[in-house]
Structure formats: C-alpha cells, structure tokens
Amino acid sequence: MRIKTTNPLRLAVVFLFIAMTAMAQAATDDFDVLMQRIRKDFSRNPNIEATFKQYDASKGAFTDIDYSRDDLTNWPPLKHLERLQQWAAAYTNSKNKHYGEDALYENIVKALQHWQNVNPNCRNWWYNQIAEPQSLGITLILLRSGKKQVPHELETAILNRMREEGGDPAKWTGANRTDICLHWIYRSCLERNEKDLSTAMQLVFDPVRYTTEEGFQHDNSYFQHSVQLYIGGYGDEVLKGVTQVAMYALGTKYALSAEKVQILSKFMRETYYQTIRGQYMLWDVMGRSVSRRNMLNKKDKAKFAQRMIELDPKHADEFRQIIDRMNGKQQPSYAIQPRHTHYFRADYSLHVRPGYIFDVRLVSNRTARLEYGNRENLKTYFASDGCNSIVKHGDEYFNIFPTWDWARIPGTTAPHLDEIPLAKKDWMQPGTSKFAGGVSDSIYGATTYAYNDRWDGINTEAKKSWFFFDNEIVCLGAGITSDNDEAPIMTSLNQRLANRGDKLTYANVKGAATEGTSAEGNNVAWVMYDGVGYAMPNGGNVKAEIKKQSGTWHAINQTQIKTEQTNDVFSVTLDHGAKPNNATYAYIVVPEANTADRMAEYAKHKHIAILSNTPQIQAVQQTDLGVWQAVFFEASQYKDKNITLTADRPCAVMIRRMPNGSTVMHVADPAQKQQPINISVKLKGMKKAATVNCDFTGTGIYAGATKKYTL
C-alpha cells in the first residue's frame, strides 16, 4: 500500500484506520486463543456408555434425575449438565468411539433444550450463578469445534440465560467473584463480546491484591466469608479460577500482570502449599469443607503449581518440588525448609520443618470462628479455640472426622460434652478473645490465647501458649477455671488415626518404656505413638489409648452418607476434672522422637526449662539454642539467675543470643492495641539492662506483626 504524505489529515485518517483494524484483528485473535485454550483445558476422552442407560431420548431428560429438587448441597439436577459436558467432550474428541456421531449430537441438542424448558433452580445461589453457567459455557465451547453446531437459536437462548441468571461478578469478592467471572469469560468468547470479556478479565484478576476484606491478606493468609481463615476450601477455588484464566490469557493483552503473579506465587509457595504435607492439607484451614469425605486429599491441586511453572518461571524449580511431593515422586520432607509464620491477620500459626508440621488456629474478636452452614460442619464449635494439626505423613487425620470426639479436638481445652453446641450464628461468628496472637522471627516463635468462653454454659477460661523450636513444641496452660456443671474440663494433646500400628509406647516416672494400648494416671512421664512423643514434665492426669471409635458423616454433615464408619483412633488427654479452679498443664510435643530410646533420652536431658506457667506469665527457655520466649498477659516481671525480663503491657517476647554474640529481641502485641510497650531485658553477663520502647502506635493492619530489635 502506497501512502501520499501531502495531506496530513488524510494521512492521520489512514493510520487511524490501520490501527483500528489491527486492534479488531487482535481482539479476534484473542477470542480464538482463549477459546482454543479453554477447549484444550476441558478436552477429555470419557466413557459415556453408562449415561445412556438413564437417558430418555424422547424427552431429552435423564430418568434418574428429579429436576424439581432444590437441595442446598449436592443439587441433583447438576448431574444433567455434568453428563452433557461429558457427551460434548466425547462428541468432539477424535479418539472417542462417538466422535462426530449424529445420534449423540441429537441427544445433546435435546438435552440442552430440555434444560431450557424445565429451567431447574436451586435454593443455594452458588449452583444458579456459578456451577450451572460454568458447566453450560464449557459444554458450548467444546461443541463449537464439533462436526455439527448447536442450533443458533438454542445456543443464543442458553447464552442469554447465562447472562441473565449468572450474576454480576462486580457484586462479589474473593473466590465467588472469580468463579462468576469464569462463565462470563466463556460466554463472552462465544458471543465475541469485547466489552464483557474485558470486564470479566479485569474482575477475575481483581482478587489478586492485598485487602482487609475477603481475599488475600497482608500477612499472606486468605479470608472468605468476612474475616474467616480459608486457606483451603475457598482458597482452592480462587487459585483454581485465577491460575486457570491466567493460563488462558498468557501472551494476550489480558495477561496477568507481573505484580499480581508475584502476589499469587508468594501465597502459593509460602502459605497454601506449606499447609499440605505430601498430598494432605491440614484439616483446620479448610473451613466447613473438612466435614466432607476425602477433602483433605489435595493431590489434584498440584495442577495449580503446574500452571505456575509457566506463569512464574523464576520459581519454577520450587513449584516442581511441590508437584513431586504431591504426586508421591518424593517424600513429604523433600526440599522443605524450616519456617515459622504467625499470620497476625488470621490468628493462625504455622510451624514447618522437614520432618513435620504443627499449627495452631485461634479466634479473636477480630476474626471469625470456623463456620457451619448449609447443614455442614455441625460439630465444629471448639475447632477455633487453639486447635492443632500434628502431621508427619500427612494422612494422620484423613477421614477421621465422623469418628472423632469433637469435644477433644487436638490442642483445645474444653468441657467434655456429649452434645457439641452450635455457635450463635452459622456464618461469620466472631470470637471473643481480645488477646490472641504470636511472635515470630520466621524460624521460631510463640503463640498465645486468652481463652474465655461463656456461650451456652461452656463457662471455661484458660491462658494457653505454644512455644516453637526445632525439635519440640512446648504447650502450657494456666488459670484453667470453669463452673460448667455438665462435664470435666480436658486438654486434648492429640486425637488422630491409629493408622501406623496398634500399640503405643509410654513410660512412668522412673519407669522403663512399655508397649500397650493404653496408659493412664498421674505418674505417666511420656507417651509416644508413630514416633511422636508427648512429655509431661509436671505430671497431670494423663489418659492415652488406642481404641475403635464409630460415627457417621451424616452426623457432622447432613449432605453426607449415613453409613456407620469405624476407625482405630489414638488419643492422649489431660483431665483437669470438674470445675477446676486455676489449674495448669504442661506438655512437650516431640514430633521426631521416633524411638522409645530417643524419647527417653530426650526426657532425661531437659532441653527445655519451663520458667513460668501462671495466669500472668508463661515463659520457657530452650537451653540448646539460647532462646527465651515469654508471654505477658499483664504488666509484670520474670527474673532468675540468667535473665530478668520486664514488660509494662501485655505482649509476646522472644530473646535470642545469636552465634555472633549479638542479642536479638522480637516483640508482638497479641491484643493489637497499637500502643507503646516498654520492655527491659538483662541477660547474665550484661553490665546493665537494655530498655526498649516498642512503639506499635499507628501500625494499623500490621498491629499484630512482630517487631525486631538488636539489644
């Protein structure tokens, strides 16, 4: 094309025309690229023979589906769309025996028309605005590559239905926004609707930002349903949707920005996959989905990491290591680095070592209890009150939940009730504690919880702290008081599947190690099962046992089966009796004791000094590491021959003598009051005390974060 330059206006018009043509062509190309990638993502070669047996071709309906049902969960009509998607995959896959088959095409068209005619509707909005339009969009995209196309009038009617009933993503947050955006993208590609596609692409990636509302938090945790921790469950959903669309958009004008890639990558590498041991996620970060069968197994979530290899090539090796662990090609310990994180926004602590994971989930007046709702997770009440997961293999709690004693959730101190109460509200019920948090230097840390529950006659309080090191976690409780009339108060050290043998090992004070199925009494020095030791340095009324426990999934989740389940369960508990007044406990978890000899040797050498365990101060020293950790529940002072530590406000403190001779202090305010805290430290050998003003004034959303000082 030859352009004359004598007329500037004419030249401008020509260049504008060329630019607009290029833009239109790019949009067309992007539509094609997106459609091809979506089609590839859902391409399958399914065996669909069994689905024909329930199909009535005269009606376009499946005889085993009641299309009038509106169940809140497991909505039966959705099976119709799931089967249709399978048929579309078979019809468009050249390797399938039904590829391009006229009879299958006719069945697909009739089944699509039947769905339009009966217009099923669910009481749970999620099915109407997410599950249904997503499935329809995928089916239509697959069929666009078929030998015959869906009749234009029918396809248009379906697309209109998706638009009118599928919801507006701008009105939602977090994973729900992402899920609605997905079917907007499917529909926009089918319609070649540039406006809606641009809107959906902007909104689908919008949740990838730090927020104080639902979504990714500034401490690298994830919230859904207000301020509830949801690393799994809704965390799964947002990662599924965002990484899925990011792969579709790679190399197009809609591509995920570098800044958002890094937010996503950081969350996945440092939080999400850190809560997965081997193939199994920690039970207490999954929300109400923990009450569904098989949900702890996250093997299929390795696909998120697979996508990140392309999206974030800088960290490709780290994502490959994650995939190898989750696929079983490597051990759960493979490439795991020691880390300790307290998520100050989420009231959650995660302690990771190559050999194990130990976590603590709390709830404060800033966060929400683990929810129940839609008839799911009905026994979850105590699960937010300092619960723990202790895992080495990953599957220690896999499908234990119907047979669990939900009044003895690991880590909690609570009345041993026969009937578990429901929280006042099913969704978004805030906690009551004003003092819940932790201090961390990224390797070690301390977590604390001022537990006080007056709901539904529970009437129990305790000061609880966990102190984390390499080889042990020290667990202290003080001020345990209750006027509950119904049940004794118990602290559960653990309750997990007895899936690694039928014997436990224990030793009484000054006694040799013994194997058996139970140990009980005030003179039990330590208990061990599956190589995890539990030492009782100050005694206590211990009960450890392996026994069969039975229950049903239906009892905790009314959408699940009623068939009775039975598991062999290991548990170890400290019984504080009825109506304790200012009782205490102390136990040390040694995750890698491994053998009776090593556990006995550990107990003998006193690596831990419990310095104080009162309602005012809980403090320990790890003598091998030169680390002191202390929780001040009120202004107070602790003093011995090695250290004098004073705080003028409640706080959590960690002092460490470094190998180079320097002394480092880390401080956090579990109450997040945003006030100055004055701390004085004098270690043996120091000429005078070091006094530090730890000023948390104006820290805002970082009020619970740790501050570091060199003394």
Chain-centroid distance of CA 552 in Å reads 24
Q: What is the DSSP string of 4-18?
A: --S-HHHHHHHHHHH
Q: Alpha-carbon dihedral of residues 72, 76, 78, 80, nearest 10 degrees?
A: -170
User: Half-sphere exposure of 285 toward its Cβ, with a 13 Å CA cutoff?
Assistant: 27
Contact 352, 340 (CB under 8 A): yes
| Marked catalytic residue, from 80, 83, 225, 408 | 225
Amino acid at 58: S
Contact 611, 620 (CB under 8 A): yes
Sort 410 into a burial class: Cβ within 10 Å, 0-12 / 13-18 / 19+. buried
| Marked catalytic residue, from 39, 98, 269, 288 | 288
Q: What is the three-class DSSP state of 659?
A: coil
Contact 245, 182 (CB under 8 A): yes
Q: What is the DSSP string of 54-83?
A: TEETTTTEETT--TT---SSS-TTHHHHHH
Contact partners, residue 64, CB within 8 Å, separation at least 6:
54, 79
Helical residues (DSSP H) of 62-215, grouped into ranges: 78-91, 102-118, 125-126, 132-143, 152-165, 174-191, 194-205
Question: How many C-beta neighbours within 10 Å does residue 290 have?
Answer: 24
Q: How far apart are CA 337 and CA 48, in angstroms?
A: 45
Long-range contacts of 4-13 (CB under 8 A, 24+ apart): none
Which tokens go with 126? 């999620």
Burial 7-45 (b: 16+ CB within 10 A, else e): eeeeeeeeeeeeeeeeeeeebeebbebbbebbbeeeeee
Contact 451, 462 (CB under 8 A): yes
Q: Is position 234 annotated as part of the catalytic site?
A: yes
Q: Is position 288 annotated as part of the catalytic site?
A: yes
Q: What is the three-class DSSP state of 136?
A: helix
Q: What is the sign, positive or negative, of the torsion defined by CA atoms of 223, 258, 315, 203?
A: positive
| Marked catalytic residue, from 91, 222, 234, 602 | 234
Q: Give the residue carrying structure tokens 């093997």.
A: 299
Q: What is the DSSP string of 578-626?
A: SS-SSEEEEEEEETT--SHHHHHHHHHH--EEEEEESSSEEEEEETTTT
- For the chain, how are helix, strand and coil distributed in percent, rounded to 5? 30, 30, 40
Chain-centroid distance of CA 318 in Å reads 20
Q: What is the three-class DSSP state of 695?
A: strand
Q: Is position 393 annotated as part of the catalytic site?
A: no
CA nearest to 672, candidates 346, 413, 350:
346
CA nearest to 401, candidates 504, 272, 549, 562:
549
**Residues forming the active site:** 225, 234, 288
